[in-house]
Amino acid sequence: GEDVEQSLFLSVREGDSSVINCTYTDSSSTYLYWYKQEPGAGLQLLTYIFSNMDMKQDQRLTVLLNKKDKHLSLRIADTQTGDSAIYFCAVRKSGQNFVFGPGTRLSVLP
Amino acid sequence: DTGVSQDPRHKITKRGQNVTFRCDPISEHNRLYWYRQTLGQGPEFLTYFQNEAQLEKSRLLSDRFSAERPKGSFSTLEIQRTEQGDSAMYLCASSPQGADTQYFGPGTRLTVL
């Protein structure tokens, strides 16, 4: 089955860029997603990319996809304290089964 | 706000009791999903409905778990004879036909004592 891995923790200083990485195992994954989860809340969709793209930019967010290495990254420019949260990578193959990574806890230091 | 809603937000129960959770998807979203999330983990897929039909079920969904969506709108997830290992956040999500994204509710946190 699909396996999605992420580093568990990342700390950055306010104003710096954050890069959160994700690797997956199934090359047939069609859509790849980034979600944000704040304490006690559900998951908020941040952005997603189709597997035939290699980059997508949306305001402060940039998603990079390396299909050859099965590597997905999320870059947050000018990171703010409000960006502190857990970020989940998720992949979808066919059907409606989405597989999530364990999440990366981003801490933004003042 | 017309997002996905879940009820209750928190449930504490004793081992062996039955519990039922409700999810109200975004209006006109015909797809509905249930996930389970334990501490420090990402959500794990449990089951998926398209309208009232339950089309996919994870092996995680043991015979103590049952989900329904009788009229293709709200859904319920029932856990019978709860065990301590069932303690988790139960998340519901919905999406419209043909969309590639899901919208999550706030979750129901279950604690089994």
Contacts of B107 in chain A (CB under 8 A): 41-42
Question: What is the 8-class DSSP label of residue A54?
Answer: S
Q: Which of residues 58-87 of A touch B (CB under 8 A)?
A: none
**Residue A43: which of B43, B44, B100 has the nearest Cβ?**
B43
Range A40-58 average pLDDT: 90
Q: Residue B21 and residue B47: Cα distance in Å, rounded?
A: 14
Q: Give the pLDDT score at A1.
A: 64
Q: Give the pLDDT score at A102.
A: 94
Tokens read off for A110: 């003042």
Report phi then psi at B34, rounded to 5.
Answer: -120, 140
DSSP-assigned beta bridge partners for residue B90: B36, B108
Asked if B18 and B81 count as a contact pair (C-beta separation under 8 A), the reply is yes
Asked if A108 and A81 count as a contact pair (C-beta separation under 8 A), the reply is yes
pLDDT over 80 at A93, yes or no: no
Contacts of B108 (CB under 8 A, 6+ apart): B6, B7, B8, B9, B10, B11, B21, B89, B90
Range A49-68 average pLDDT: 93
Contact across the interface for A4 and B42, Cβ inside 8 Å: yes
Q: Mind telling me how many Å the CA of A11 is from chain B's nearest CA?
A: 17
Q: Percentage of chain A surpassing pLDDT 70?
A: 96
What are the pLDDT digits (tens) for B34-89? 999 998 889 999 999 999 999 988 888 889 999 999 988 999 999 999 999 999 99
Range B14-21 average pLDDT: 98
Q: Residue A20 and residue A87: Cα distance in Å, rounded?
A: 8
**Residue B33: which of A50, A88, A96 has the nearest Cβ?**
A96
Contact across the interface for B41 and A103, Cβ inside 8 Å: yes
pLDDT over 90 at B2, yes or no: no
Q: Give the pLDDT score at A29.
A: 79
Q: Give the pLDDT score at A40.
A: 79
Residue B58: exposure state from Cβ atoms within 10 A (0-12, 13-18, ≥19): middle
Q: Give the pLDDT score at A48.
A: 92
Query: How sure is the predictor about B31, in pLDDT bands with cuts at 50, 70 and 90?
Result: very high
Query: How sure is the predictor about B1, in pLDDT bands with cuts at 50, 70 and 90?
Result: low
pLDDT over 80 at A95, yes or no: no
Q: How many CB pairs under 8 A join A and B?
A: 55
Q: How many residues does chain B have?
A: 113
**Residue B42: which of A31, A48, A100 has the nearest Cβ?**
A100
- The dihedral built from the CA positions of residue B88, B109, B113 and B59, taken in this order, carries a sign that is negative
Alpha carbon distance, N-terminus to C-terminus of chain A: 40
H helices, E strands: number in chain B: 0, 11
| Beta-strand relationship, A9-13 and A104-109 | parallel
Query: How sure is the predictor about B28, in pLDDT bands with cuts at 50, 70 and 90?
Result: confident
